[in-house]
Structure 1
Amino acid sequence: MKRETNRRSFVKLAATAGLCTLASPAVLAGSHPEQLAENEETNKIPKKSWYPLGVFKNPVLESVFLFYVGSTWQRLSDVGECFDTASRIDEANDYSWSDQWIKTGNRLKVLGDACLKEHHEFTAGESYLRSSTYYRAALHHYPDPANKIVKELSLKVVKNYKMALKLMSIPFEAVSIPYMKTELPGYFFPAKLKSNKKAPVIILHAGRDSWAEDYLWVAQQAVKRGYHCLLFDGPGQGKVIRIQGIPFRPDWENVITPVLDFLKHTKKEVDMNKTVLMGFSMGGFLAPRAVTVEKRIKLCVANPGVLNWTASIYNGLNQIDPQLLPLFQAGNYDLFDQKIEEYMRTSSYVKWGITDELWKYGVHKPSELIKKYQEYNIEAVAKNIGCRMMVIDGTGEEFSVGEAKRLYDALTCPKDYVLFTEEDTGYLHCQPGALAIAYTRIFNWVDKYIDVI
């Protein structure tokens, strides 16, 4: 029993390090402990939760599946297509998840081609849009990041996405942002303006697993409100890691500064005094890190907020085996790596999580990965943030429990703490399946403060 508990804990640690949607242990049990206690005092009947869905036994696949089902709200996917794909997935087969999403993506691509051949441009675009999503879903949990199919599918993601936006008459520009000796890919969505007018801009990047393409809803809601929007992938993310091979870096100001320079020099329609930076998932650490140095951002949204990413990793290690962290801290890296590799051999999901993480951070050993995590900490510099911050949290947050509140408390700038709960349905990591309430609160906040001097 202890070995099984440790194995499950390590699956969750791998997910914590590597997935953008996973319910907390309390949620997996059906409710929050404090809520259960309250219910037991009142009517002895615990509240029934809508999550987990019960589609997959593995919590990693379950949470990722919810992310893509939740994308139906922005028409990036469809409910039946998602559940049909899930019904064909064999959890015992490492490649089944990817294979079945690719199959669905291919089918939608063929449908789009057929629609286009008959001059049904809009429905062709919708089919290509969903095809792009399903290819991203396939890559969300691909066992071998070195396989050539990773780059091939990534190129299909981009091709289908651009074609979809064009056929659906969604105004956009595919942009290349100068970055070091290369470029970062993005999409600029212009607000509808009268001539010679300028408008605020919302800049969004994700975290470890999602892509810029996953946040069409942010762009569309921004444009409706008279804001420009720039969605982009940075180092370690989406297209940049899979096509360009560039891993994460902790000093995210060195990513955001070139982005702002690009907007300043190429987008004269942007009001550079009204810039909004949004970071989702691990971006909830990266965005605050950027604004500790970059002072041109007026508003910053951290969803969820993270002060010290290392703390969550340490807590996860202690839950698995109390001896792991002391081994690492004592500098016994060879034995630490050996222990981690033993856990990796017990589960293909653990192996995937660690392998994927090593790749995205550009390291080769688990001990090197833990050292790299230590750089993702803004405890000493959070006080340098001067823009207004929206720090988002959820009662079902798994990856960084308590970190959003710690970030909020460390801030000395104007700030707001927004807690999503099970009652409003946005309580899971990044509000999967609850994008309506997410956009309501986030954009209401932006609308409220964008013109405040």
Structure 2
Amino acid sequence: MRSSTPIAHCFAALVLSGLATGATNETSDYPPTYQLGNNTAFNSEFIVALQNSLSGGADIGPVLGAVKNIKPGDFDSYHKEFYKLANATKAQAEDPENNYDPINVRDSWFSASQYYRRADVYIHRNWSEPLIKTVWDEQTAAFDNAIAALPIPGRRVQIPSPEGNLTVEAIWYSASEDPYAKLPTMIVGNGFDAAQEDSYHYYCAAALARGWNCITYEGPGQNTVRRTQDLGFIHNWEVVATPVVDYVLSAKKQVVDERRLVLAGNSMGGYLAARAAAFEPRLSAVILVGGLWDLYAGYTSQLPADLLSIYEAGNYTTFDEQVLSLRDVGPEDIGTEAIWGLDYGLWAFKTHSPSEFFNLTKLYRIQDVVHQIQMPVFVGDAEFENIFSGQAQKVKDALGEKSTFHQFKGVAGYHCQSGAQQELARTIFAWLNKTLEIELPYS
């Protein structure tokens, strides 16, 4: 999830911030929150860092201290300040005087892990950059220390996907120590750039507090699988999600209420979860935050007409040369979002060619399989969504009576409700409780 600025969550940012001519649905009330500096992309990251304080994944003062020293638009400055904060927090977590209390251990390691993830955001231009691995190894180790200190420890699992020829990386969280408790269970998948470790803070902490089991997972193109299996994004996400459902209903069948099994997709995960749901009738309900109809349409709608015409004419060499040359211009001319979108997007889709990226996005069309989705679906939208503005409504319309549409507005109107995680949780769990007829406390 790329949070508060409505244009900063996906590769299409490449064509924004000085390149785009597309319309926006921003109003005179935009931005609805106070901005931490004059760089919207960095402000987005700062909000992500701050919001995780709700679930022990940040401390407000240290984050603001790092923000104070970051130069707007300076990737090296951003990385160094969050890396320094991560290392300092790790040192606190390793202090023996800190370790007498499991809550100290948990929160310190959660925070260190999250600061390492923030330090990773802007370092993907050079795929051979050692920090891409070392920073991620640090965040993974820190997160594992944190989940080991939960009241019921979380546990990493690797789930084979024979059809997908891959291993799905997942983390299981139990809501009860009762080995026979049949509890509602949420499967959570993120999207373009956020990690499954982020999913704990976005969804799982709220789910566990409400008596839900939770499992997060990652497939090709997402952080751990991209690094450990060298796999870029794929569109046929059912080969990723179905093995997770298999695992939940087999290895965890004694503690899972199969009548209340929910798949949630966040950001681009709104496409991934919907695609998976079209092939997975065992799901009881689906949460899409937000609803994505057609990635290619969203991305190309942001391209300037002259650049789009070059691409559509099939002049891929010229298109790639022009797009890649923009990377060297610098964020002061084309925007931080554009630079980040190019660097991260090519890495996540495992291609050095912008034209190949656009060709790949043509496969990500939920309209091709939406008629196969049979369970209730919550379709979330954001007032200040830009690239995919209007697409959530298309998903809702195609699903008809099977769907519930909710637009988050005002301070909750950023992409994926960054900075308004309480409102997001209240809304989706109220819908789930009503839809799945759950009485609280769950029994």
Whether TM-score is above 0.5 comes out as yes
Matched, 1:251 2:236: yes
* Identity %, equivalent residues: 27
Matched, 1:304 2:298: no
Cα RMSD of the aligned pairs, angstroms, is 2.5
Q: 1:262 to 1:168 in 2, by over 3 A?
A: closer
* Aligned counterpart for 1:330 among listed residues 298, 305, 313: 313
Contact 2:263/2:285 (8 A) holds in 1: yes
2:429 and 2:107 map into 1 onto residues whose CA distance is 25
* Aligned counterpart for 2:326 among listed residues 331, 343, 348: 343
Contact 2:57/2:114 (8 A) holds in 1: yes
Residue matched to 1:420 = 408
2:277 and 2:192 map into 1 onto residues whose CA distance is 19
Letter in 2 for 1:323: D
What SS does structure 2 have at the residue aligned with 1:142? coil
Deviations 1:318-348 (A, max 9, x none): xxx2111121111111111122123222225
Deviation at 1:427, TM superposition (A): 0.5
Matched, 1:162 2:166: no
Matched, 1:234 2:219: yes
Contact 1:385/1:412 (8 A) holds in 2: no
Contact 2:99/2:105 (8 A) holds in 1: no
* Aligned counterpart for 2:57 among listed residues 76, 80, 83: 76
Letter in 2 for 1:361: F
Matched, 1:450 2:436: yes
TM-score (normalised: structure 2): 0.87
Q: 1:32 to 1:118 in 2, by over 3 A?
A: closer
Deviation at 1:223, TM superposition (A): 2.5
Q: 1:160 to 1:385 in 2, by over 3 A?
A: same
Contact 1:328/1:336 (8 A) holds in 2: yes
Residue matched to 1:27 = none
Q: 1:378 to 1:125 in 2, by over 3 A?
A: closer
Matched, 1:382 2:370: yes
Contact 2:169/2:225 (8 A) holds in 1: yes
Residue matched to 1:266 = 251
Residue matched to 2:107 = 126
Deviation at 1:89, TM superposition (A): 1.4
Contact 1:235/1:247 (8 A) holds in 2: yes
Deviation at 1:291, TM superposition (A): 1.2
* Aligned counterpart for 2:390 among listed residues 375, 393, 402: 402
Give 5+ residue unaligned stretches, structure 1: 1-10, 24-30, 37-46
Structure 1 residues 344-353 or 307-316, which shifts more? 344-353
What SS does structure 1 have at the residue aligned with 2:167? strand
Give 5+ residue unaligned stretches, structure 2: 18-24, 439-443
2:32 and 2:367 map into 1 onto residues whose CA distance is 36
1:126 and 1:308 map into 2 onto residues whose CA distance is 39
1:354 and 1:171 map into 2 onto residues whose CA distance is 38
1:136 and 1:66 map into 2 onto residues whose CA distance is 14
Q: 1:238 to 1:48 in 2, by over 3 A?
A: closer
1:335 and 1:195 map into 2 onto residues whose CA distance is 60
Residue matched to 1:8 = none
Deviation at 1:272, TM superposition (A): 2.7
What SS does structure 1 have at the residue aligned with 2:75? coil
Contact 1:115/1:121 (8 A) holds in 2: no
Aligned residue-pair number: 416
Contact 1:204/1:277 (8 A) holds in 2: yes
Matched, 1:411 2:399: yes
Residues 135-146 of structure 1: pairs in structure 2 closer than 5 A: 135-143=116-124, 144-146=126-128
Q: 1:115 to 1:202 in 2, by over 3 A?
A: same
Matched, 1:366 2:351: no
Residues 159-198 of structure 1: pairs in structure 2 closer than 5 A: 159-180=141-162, 181-192=165-176, 194=178, 196-198=180-182
Structure 1 residues 205-214 or 222-231, which shifts more? 222-231
Deviation at 1:281, TM superposition (A): 0.7
1:313 and 1:13 map into 2 onto residues whose CA distance is 11
Letter in 1 for 2:103: F
Residue matched to 1:40 = none
Deviation at 1:413, TM superposition (A): 5.2
Letter in 1 for 2:156: A
Letter in 2 for 1:316: Q
Letter in 2 for 1:309: L
Matched, 1:209 2:197: no
Q: 1:279 to 1:116 in 2, by over 3 A?
A: farther
Deviation at 1:367, TM superposition (A): 0.6
Deviation at 1:108, TM superposition (A): 0.3
Q: 1:59 to 1:92 in 2, by over 3 A?
A: closer
Residue matched to 1:290 = 276
Deviation at 1:157, TM superposition (A): 1.1
Letter in 2 for 1:288: A
What SS does structure 2 have at the residue aligned with 1:379? helix
Contact 2:10/2:192 (8 A) holds in 1: no
Deviations 1:90-125 (A, max 9, x none): 235432211111100000000111145763443133
* Aligned counterpart for 2:11 among listed residues 7, 14, 17: 17
Q: 1:145 to 1:116 in 2, by over 3 A?
A: farther
Contact 1:128/1:164 (8 A) holds in 2: yes
The one of the two structures with greater contact order (alpha-carbon pairs below 8 A, sep at least 6) is 2
Deviations 1:156-182 (A, max 9, x none): 111111212223434322222113454
Contact 1:126/1:168 (8 A) holds in 2: no
